Chains A and B, each alone.
Chain A
């Protein structure tokens, strides 16, 4: 049985080698819905997209998360694939973010100036990294860790992410086992 894809996933999750998929997959375990679902449903996908665009911005070589239109997809994944715990962390975290923005800049995140957005999220990112470093096993992840993972998944699986930020050839026609790689070259999607 050619189970490489499935197995890589399983192994990496179990080992936590790719924390990116770890959360996403455990998130997809069945769970009882509560009113958290309502909060997620009311989420403005533009908020997710604006956050995502700071995490993965336009760069000279490829458009960023906003141009890749990740907002609606992120919301869909949150709604359809995340477990209640993760939905809850996200809902609370994003609410907290909005509060912070109102306190510091008297407006919501979407309305902030680009440098304010960046400044705000850089700070939260550092907080999240500190939090993760000291996190005990079986305690919830920081919401921004989840935001980054969801952003990454949404962007690199989008058409722009796949074809512009990565190298993509849907019909490779041949397989060459050993091809030289120069530092900085993009990964194959």
Chain B
């Protein structure tokens, strides 16, 4: 049996970080990826295509939608990016309640098609569950993660402005992308009318001005094309494929095995530790086992749950580390249901140049120090102002030259807002393994049972009410609010199921992301989340991964694992 110092299950945003840190510290590391290989530059077939070169010019054909009713809904999915998403038929799962499980199976995972928002969590979020009495307390605080946030930000490159907002701490920022003139106006108006509502330049994993460390990774300046999700030939945004994996590769310690779906983690009953993993080659269906001293589980939140639940041994009949029966429970997600759009009168003599790959963020202003609403939790708002091409002309404009001219010009300014809301951890929101249905590799299908609740409904309503009021106070007109009622999962922020905590009775992982009951296994992707917070989670996954990897290496050195 092939043997390594470490195995990392998954090559996405957190798996890439585990690989980088472990390889840099000298561990021979095997990264297992269930999908195909993706190499920077070589495997971005659409990156430099002109918009008119796509067969349907990014207008999805009926047959694509019909064949992929799930994945074609995903944000960013289109003719130019479809190759980085799964096909529905290949990867079934069972929905006890509607849940859109969006997946990208390839080396780099969803880090190729992620949203790139990189706000830090604040202590408001780490302490909210304990203060307001929902879920369990996080075993860590902002100060435990802050140095790791810095470590990650410097390496991946995050643009942003130091705004000094308590609910969204500053980080190690590259210069921010400009506000446009309407966004500047909105920022001022919000502060005039509300003391604590801060609209700030987005914090995004975008190389606005690359530093030496980024050039060393072979990455260059963001070209302001906003075509990130096709894969960036300039390396202008962070993905595992452009950054952490090649970096790990340079150490000589990295092996990547694509087409390797992990069936389970092997447990050595004598030693009381995990001894390796069982892998199925997705093409040949050959079963292969690999040994390692430590295992990092970074398969993406729900797949990490699946693997652990499927890792059955005499010691762990309900899944690895699952002594308390809580594995797969307390699944969380982010509420993305509320959208607002409005017209902005004036500013007709203002426009912008280039494509902004980031968007401004309105920091959470709800339930910070105390509870000030009839629900728990808070929401981040993403928003921005833009001037689309004219699409609607008055009836007086006749077809012909006048019609063409009118449509060739920018319309008036518009503004949009959408929410990213916290959900409450609930035991009833869970995933489990199907007892009778298996996938093409003989692995049980995942069953999802995740739903909205009354708290979520109240938050959506509050977001829509507050957003409308703010825009109206800022002088916007024709404010339209929508609740699109989308199913959980489409937010692509599924979290939890293997949460961190102080007490092994109520949590699966300790403060170092180590399974309480099997301490050479670390889970550092979205599965580890104790609560969902309202900030985008990817940066936290990366920071927690780097932190856990460095801890694991120290423990290994002292033979403590």
Contact = CB atoms under 8 A, between A and B. Distances in A.
Interface of A: 1-8, 10-12, 14-15, 17-21, 24, 28-31, 54-57, 59, 62, 64, 73, 76-77, 80-83, 118, 121-122, 125, 129, 133, 148, 152-153, 156-159, 162, 165-166, 169-189
A1 B115 contact: yes
B61 A122 contact: no
A184 B114 CA distance: 37
A178 B352 contact: yes
Given A3-B418, A14-B484, A175-B177, A148 B392 contact: no
Nearest to A21: B391
A178 B185 CA distance: 12
A82 B62 CA distance: 7
A181 B59 contact: no
A181 B75 contact: no
B409 A173 contact: no
B212 interface: no
Contacts of B398: 122, 125
B310 to A, nearest CB: 29
A177 B384 CA distance: 11
Given A4-B359, A11-B416, A175-B224, A184 B409 contact: yes
A29 B228 CA distance: 27
A148 B399 contact: yes
B51 A17 contact: no
Interface stretch (B343-351, B370-378, B425-433, B500-508): B343-351
Given A171-B225, A177-B352, A3 B75 contact: yes
Given A1-B115, A30-B69, A181-B348, A172 B353 contact: yes
User: Which A-B residue pairs are the 8 nearest by beta carbons?
Assistant: A1-B115, A177-B178, A172-B354, A175-B354, A181-B351, A80-B61, A177-B180, A20-B391
A129 B399 CA distance: 11
B395 A129 contact: yes
B403 interface: yes
Contact of B59 (A8, A14, A55, A77): A77
A175 B387 CA distance: 15
A2 B117 contact: yes
A80 B401 contact: no
B399 A166 contact: no
Given A6-B76, A125-B399, A28 B354 contact: no
Given A54-B400, A181-B349, A175 B405 contact: no
Contacts of B225: 170-172
B63 interface: yes
Given A21-B391, A172-B354, A4 B59 contact: no
Contact of A31 (B62, B69, B221, B348): B62
B117 A81 contact: no
Contact of B352 (A24, A162, A179): A179
B55 A176 contact: no
A2 B116 contact: yes
Given A57-B404, A178-B178, A178-B181, 6 more contacts: A1-B114, A24-B59, A29-B65, A57-B401, A177-B184, A179-B350
Contacts of A181: 348-351, 410
B356 A187 contact: no
Contacts of A174: 224, 353-354
B194 interface: no
Given A54-B400, A171-B225, A172-B223, A76 B480 contact: no
Contact of A157 (B51, B350, B480, B491): B51
B407 interface: yes
A170 B399 CA distance: 29
Interface in B158-193: 177-181, 183-184
B482 A15 contact: yes
B351 to A, nearest CB: 4
B404 A56 contact: yes
Interface string B83-97: 000000000000000
A173 B116 CA distance: 19
A3 B52 contact: no
Contacts of A76: 55-56
A83 B348 CA distance: 37
Given A10-B484, A187-B409, A28 B60 contact: yes
Nearest to B395: A129
A187 B386 CA distance: 12
B388 interface: yes
A125 B400 CA distance: 11
Contacts of A129: 395
B89 to A, nearest CB: 15
Contact of B405 (A21, A59, A148, A162): A59
Contacts of A28: 59-62, 65
26 contacts: A1-B420, A1-B536, A2-B116, A6-B75, A6-B76, A8-B388, A14-B482, A14-B484, A17-B392, A19-B391, A21-B391, A30-B69, A55-B404, A56-B403, A57-B401, A59-B401, A80-B61, A81-B60, A122-B398, A162-B50, A172-B353, A173-B224, A177-B181, A178-B352, A187-B390, A187-B408
